[in-house]
């Protein structure tokens, strides 16, 4: 794993067997410079990963060392057995760099290679969201779930794209989906396309889907959006970035963040909210009239104006719905405009409810 020193700026060493690893652990401990973490392969000659882990945890000189085990797909990991031995996390090979970084960040207490996990916002969300997390890696599941649950949201986990599709078929009423791009059985892009196709056939609402990916290559964001996703977040995730992205996609309103955009002037925020809420019915009516008249240019103008107004409050769901209508008007394609208008009205209703709570809290 050359990136440990080249990219992550860590001192590290390697061993080709369990006995060699133990010898190095004792040597460095005796020199007063013990290892903080050991990454163990499950299958090694002489001693396997569990044997080495037991040897480390049974010796008081070494027992403080954190342990991460790498297993193969053929090995059925028993998480409870690992926990009893003292293994903090396990990953299935082949291991992604981002997954290993996440595991190390959790095991070592939150900061690796400067990739700090920002403290989750202390304030609970005004609106409790129900979020579907589609992610196959148990460490990443734990990271994202804990961040969102501490914010006050409910998280249901699906281990792959097919499981995510099945979960969305039920009457769960998810406010947003976090979708890992690379998963077995059905990847995130394929799952998203299937979700959008199902929504078009049902003629119902459109659940916001946010891509989670370790890739940062040119074109990745565009591919995610082209598949029907509404947002994009890179792994390893930062707590504040994850919360902000999910709540924005779900249309959640955070009064403190909205006030921060206005230099912390809460009185100004209240005034602007009153103005917007009073004028919103007129703006929605202009959008509806343009759709009824099949006037694409009028739709573009009306949706653009509404988008600009609601964007002042960070109401991502309403902003995104208005943007879709604006795009339809600009393209002259109003085939799905009524469905998009329904989404806009739902997003605005949710925003109004949360804005009212924010003003009275």
Whether the predicted pLDDT of 41 surpasses 70 = yes
- Distance CA(107)–CA(233), nearest Å, equals 23
Same domain, yes or no: 273 and 325 = yes
Same domain, yes or no: 260 and 242 = no
Looking at every residue in the chain, the average pLDDT score rounds to 81
Q: Which domain holds residue 344?
A: 255-360
In a domain, 41, yes or no: yes
Can you give the pLDDT at residue 299? 95
Can you give the pLDDT at residue 307? 87
pLDDT digits (tens, 9 = 90+) for 242-288: 888 888 787 766 666 677 667 777 788 888 888 888 999 999 999 99
- What is the SS3 assignment for 129? coil
Same domain, yes or no: 150 and 242 = yes
Distance of CA 126 to the CA centre of its chain: 19
pLDDT digits (tens, 9 = 90+) for 8-21: 667 788 898 999 99
Mean pLDDT of 96-111: 66
In a domain, 117, yes or no: no
Choose the final residue of a domain: 249, 279, 300: 249
Mean pLDDT of 60-68: 90
**Closest alpha carbon to 188 in 168, 207, 212, 153:** 212
Can you give the pLDDT at residue 119? 37
- Distance CA(321)–CA(341), nearest Å, equals 8
Same domain, yes or no: 267 and 281 = yes
Whether the predicted pLDDT of 235 surpasses 90 = no
In a domain, 121, yes or no: no
Choose the final residue of a domain: 186, 215, 249: 249
Same domain, yes or no: 243 and 259 = no
Under the banding of pLDDT at 50, 70 and 90, the label for residue 236 is: confident
In a domain, 166, yes or no: yes
Whether the predicted pLDDT of 116 surpasses 70 = no
Name 209's bridge partners. Answer: 177
pLDDT digits (tens, 9 = 90+) for 279-314: 999 999 999 999 999 999 999 999 999 988 888 776
Can you give the pLDDT at residue 113? 31
Can you give the pLDDT at residue 91? 78
In a domain, 125, yes or no: no
Mean pLDDT of 37-64: 89
Whether the predicted pLDDT of 26 surpasses 70 = yes
In a domain, 70, yes or no: yes
User: In this structure, how many other beta carbons lie within 10 angstroms of the beta carbon of residue 119?
Assistant: 11
Choose the final residue of a domain: 224, 249, 274: 249
Q: What CATH code is carried by the domain that includes residue 56?
A: 3.40.50.2300
- Please provide residue 177's backbone torsions phi and psi, each rounded to the nearest 5 degrees: -125, 130
Under the banding of pLDDT at 50, 70 and 90, the label for residue 204 is: low
């Amino acid at each position: 794993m050359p990136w440990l020193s080249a990219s992550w700026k860590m001192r590290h060493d390697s061993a080709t067997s369990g006995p060699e690893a133990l010898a190095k652990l004792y040597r460095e401990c005796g020199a007063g410079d013990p290892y903080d973490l050991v990454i163990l392969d499950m299958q090694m000659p002489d001693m396997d990963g569990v044997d080495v882990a037991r040897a480390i945890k049974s010796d008081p000189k070494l027992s403080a060392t954190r342990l991460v085990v790498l297993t193969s797909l053929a090995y059925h990991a028993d998480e409870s057995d690992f926990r009893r031995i003292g293994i903090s996390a396990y990953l299935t090979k082949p291991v992604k760099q981002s997954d290993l970084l996440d595991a190390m960040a959790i095991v070592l207490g939150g900061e690796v290679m400067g990739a700090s996990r920002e403290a989750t916002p202390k304030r609970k969300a005004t609106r409790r969201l129900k979020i579907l997390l589609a992610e196959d890696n148990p460490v990443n599941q734990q990271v994202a779930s804990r961040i969102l649950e501490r914010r006050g949201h409910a998280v249901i986990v699906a281990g792959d794209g097919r499981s995510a599709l099945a979960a969305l078929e039920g009457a769960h009423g998810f406010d947003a989906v976090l979708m890992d791009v690379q998963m077995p059985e059905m990847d995130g892009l394929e799952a998203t396309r299937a979700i959008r196709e199902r929504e078009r056939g049902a003629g119902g609402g459109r659940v916001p889907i946010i891509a989670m990916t370790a890739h940062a290559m040119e074109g990745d964001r565009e591919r995610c959006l082209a598949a029907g996703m509404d947002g994009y977040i890179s792994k390893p995730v930062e707590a504040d970035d994850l919360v902000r992205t999910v709540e924005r996609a779900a249309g959640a309103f955070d009064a403190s963040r909205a006030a921060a955009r206005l230099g912390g002037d809460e009185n100004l925020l209240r005034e602007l909210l009153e103005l917007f809420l009073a004028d919103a019915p007129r703006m929605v009516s202009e959008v509806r009239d343009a759709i009824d008249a099949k006037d694409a240019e009028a739709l573009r103008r009306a949706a653009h104006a509404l988008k600009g107004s609601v964007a002042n409050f960070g109401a991502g769901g309403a902003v995104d719905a208005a943007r879709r209508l604006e795009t339809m008007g600009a393209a002259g394609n109003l085939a799905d405009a009524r469905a998009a208008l329904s989404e806009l009205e739902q997003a605005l209703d949710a925003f109004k409810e949360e804005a009212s709570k924010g003003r009275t809290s």
